[in-house]
Amino acid sequence: MTYCVGILVSGGLVMIGDTRTNAGIDNIATFRKLHLFETPGERVVGIATSGNLSLSQSVLSLVNEGILNPETGQIETLFNVPTMLAAAHLIGRAMRKVYEIDGAALEEHGLHFDMKVLLGGQIGDQPLRLFHLYSEGNSIEATPDTPYLQIGEPKYGKPILDRAISHEVEIRDALKIGLISMDSTLQSNLSVGLPIDILVIRRGELQAAVYHRIDDHDEYFRDLRERWSKALRAAHQSIPNPPYAELL
């Protein structure tokens, strides 16, 4: 399993991804799921993937090699697509190509063609955008109304996002809340694990402000987890007792 979240706020974009992959619960490994593609000063693009690792690796390999855009005749990579929408289409084409190659065989073996992508970033003076691509290669885009998108196991980490994230929150708060959301998932789902990767892009700055790996020994994240646990305990302790019975 996987948990990745992208949060697009007025100040910029935060992307967070875990690194655990498993083929059965007795076969667990660490693979990076959050990737940075940047030409500082010109473009900065982040990609996070979930689902079948072989599929997401194949898609990234194709995207790195470059894929023909039938409309322009150009071989496209994330380093030359002209817009973020073109980047989403490029990845969608790569997903459809991998489906052509591997889809039928997977289905013969009773497996779904399952992979999802978060794609975020900015090219030149165009808007900073965040997309969620489905297995079929189509996509939705974050908006001020719904400024965050998740892939993998979204549920454990969703309540804090629903309550705390809005388009207006500061980017440092978006990162903090994203890390709390990741922590909730780590706590409740063994198939999501440390280390985690974080990417922060400030709107208008055409390079990553943060691209960092948080591991077991990361003091800030350890402190955040402890403080959050303590604060949750204090929070429910501060709520008055239920009045439903004198007995209680």
Binding-site ranges for a second copy (CB under 8 A)? 153, 155-156, 158-160, 162-164, 171-173, 175-177, 179-180, 184, 187-188, 198, 200, 202, 209-210, 212, 220, 223-224, 227-229, 231-245, 247-248
Q: Which is nearer to a second copy, 83 or 230 (CB)?
A: 230
CB of 3 to a second copy, least distance (A): 11
Print the SS3 string covering 148-217. EEEEECCCCCHHHHHHHCCCCCCHHHHHHHHHHHHHHHHHHCCCCCCCEEEEEEECCCCCCCEEEEECCC
CB of 237 to a second copy, least distance (A): 8
CB of 198 to a second copy, least distance (A): 7
Radius of gyration of the chain (CA): 19
CB of 77 to a second copy, least distance (A): 27
Q: What is the rounded CA–CA span in Å between residue 232 and residue 131?
A: 32
Q: What is the rounded CA–CA span in Å between residue 103 and residue 100?
A: 6
Q: Which is nearer to a second copy, 81 or 171 (CB)?
A: 171
Q: Which is nearer to a second copy, 53 or 160 (CB)?
A: 160
Q: Which is nearer to a second copy, 81 or 174 (CB)?
A: 174
Q: Which is nearer to a second copy, 80 or 187 (CB)?
A: 187
CB of 16 to a second copy, least distance (A): 11
Q: What is the rounded CA–CA span in Å between residue 130 and residue 152?
A: 16
Q: Which is nearer to a second copy, 71 or 216 (CB)?
A: 216
Query: What is the sign, positive or negative, of the torsion defined by CA atoms of 39, 78, 133, 195?
Result: negative
Residue 25 DSSP one-character state: T
Packing angle of the helix pair 219-238, 171-188 (nearest 10 deg): 80
Taking residue 138's Cβ as centre, other Cβ atoms within 10 Å add up to 13
> What SS3 state is found at 246?
coil
CB of 129 to a second copy, least distance (A): 21
